[in-house]
A = this chain, B = another copy of it.
Amino acid sequence: MKVEKSSKGLEVLVRTQEDDLEGFSFLEIMDRVDPLPLDFENYKNFKEGIYYMCTHDGTKIGFVLKFAINEMETVCSEIFEETFQLDESRHELRFKSEDFDHRNNLIDQLARKMYLESSLSGVKGWRNEKYAVWVNKKPYVLVERAVAGVLGIITYGIHINGYVLDPKSKKVQFWVPRRSKTKQTWPLMLDNIIAGGLGYPYGIYETVLKESMEEANLEKSVIEDNIKATGSVSYLYFTGDISVTKFNKESDFIVGEVQYVYDLKLSEDIIPKPNDGEVESFNLFSLQETINALRKKEFKPNCALVMVDFLIRHGYITPENEPNYLELVTRMHRRLPFPTLN
């Protein structure tokens, strides 16, 4: 995809001959986040390897791997049995307690034990941040972020695209941070200007303000002047191949994710700065540099998807230059098979 100037002097993305020859589609970026077909629950491997996490009264709230259940049973059998009822025939792992505080207490114990004694690498990244599972628009249980993957619950976050639009040339540039090399996840990859998980009890916009300060050193007044809520993307994050994945390791987790998406249009004199050590540097990328980085897989996968969402909403990706336009728009708004926050 090549950036050219339209007859009106606007930047437009044009498919090259190579794009057509190799059949390029931005769907590639979607596939790196969520390659699951609609009927993924009918696959043999899925049926064997995946259980449904359920509330005490039977509402499904997540996908939990048999592998993860085995790990919990090995590492913390006592707390596990106090917390959950395992139904092998229905492939369900149900919470036992009807009480919110009791569930929180048990899951907290379970998470701490896993952190200390499990060999899973994910649980070692203790965040001291709680994710809420939402059922009937209320928090059903609070889960330490590090064990969200093990329990297979839906997680929520905010992602902000920061951009500068030159009023004269109409050229767009994106503020693209490179993640710190010491980040637990995806070190050194490119990111959205600001992104963060929705830690309980922070609200969505509250998280926007909090993360803007923490990650980019941008104050509340700068954000309030320039930010716009613009929708959401949702997907089942999965990196395997449903036909062959054995669901017997951490990287086989299927995690429902919702990202609330914001645009932050900044003037050239506002410069984001690393603040909390999570970001190595912020750089301004031209449209062409951004497209190239997307195609070279330099972005963290879900940040790439949020960038694609921006490119669609702002008319850079169009039904004319993207052969799977509707498919792409539909898939990035996947309906998750469990209750959600809103």
The residues of A with any CB-CB pair to B shorter than 8 Å are 6-8, 38, 137, 203-205, 224-225, 227-232, 234, 258, 260, 263, 312-315, 317-320, 322-327, 329-331, 333-335, 340-342
Contacts and interface: CB of A to CB of B under 8 A. Distances in A.
A91 B74 CA distance: 51
Given A205-B318, A232-B326, A234-B326, 12 more contacts: A228-B314, A229-B318, A230-B315, A232-B330, A234-B330, A260-B319, A260-B325, A313-B313, A319-B342, A323-B342, A326-B340, A333-B333
Contact of A8 (B224, B319, B331, B342): B224
A228 B315 contact: yes
> What copy number does this chain have within its complex?
2
Contact of A320 (B205, B329, B330): B205
Contacts of A228: 314-315
B326 A230 contact: no
A257 to B, nearest CB: 12
A313 B161 CA distance: 13
Contact of A325 (B232, B263, B329, B334): B232
Contacts of A203: 320
Contact of A229 (B7, B227, B315, B334): B315
A319 B204 contact: yes
Highest count of chain B CB atoms <10 Å: which of A231, A320, A322, A323: A231
A260 B204 CA distance: 29
Given A6-B224, A224-B6, A341 B318 contact: no
* Best-surrounded residue of A205, A234, A326, A334 (most CB of chain B within 10 A): A326
A137 B27 CA distance: 15
A312 B227 CA distance: 13
A205 B327 contact: no
A312 B231 contact: yes
Nearest to A205: B320
26 contacts: A7-B224, A8-B225, A38-B335, A137-B323, A205-B318, A228-B314, A229-B317, A229-B318, A229-B319, A230-B312, A230-B314, A232-B319, A232-B326, A232-B329, A234-B330, A263-B315, A322-B342, A323-B342, A324-B342, A326-B340, A326-B341, A329-B333, A330-B333, A330-B334, A331-B335, A335-B335
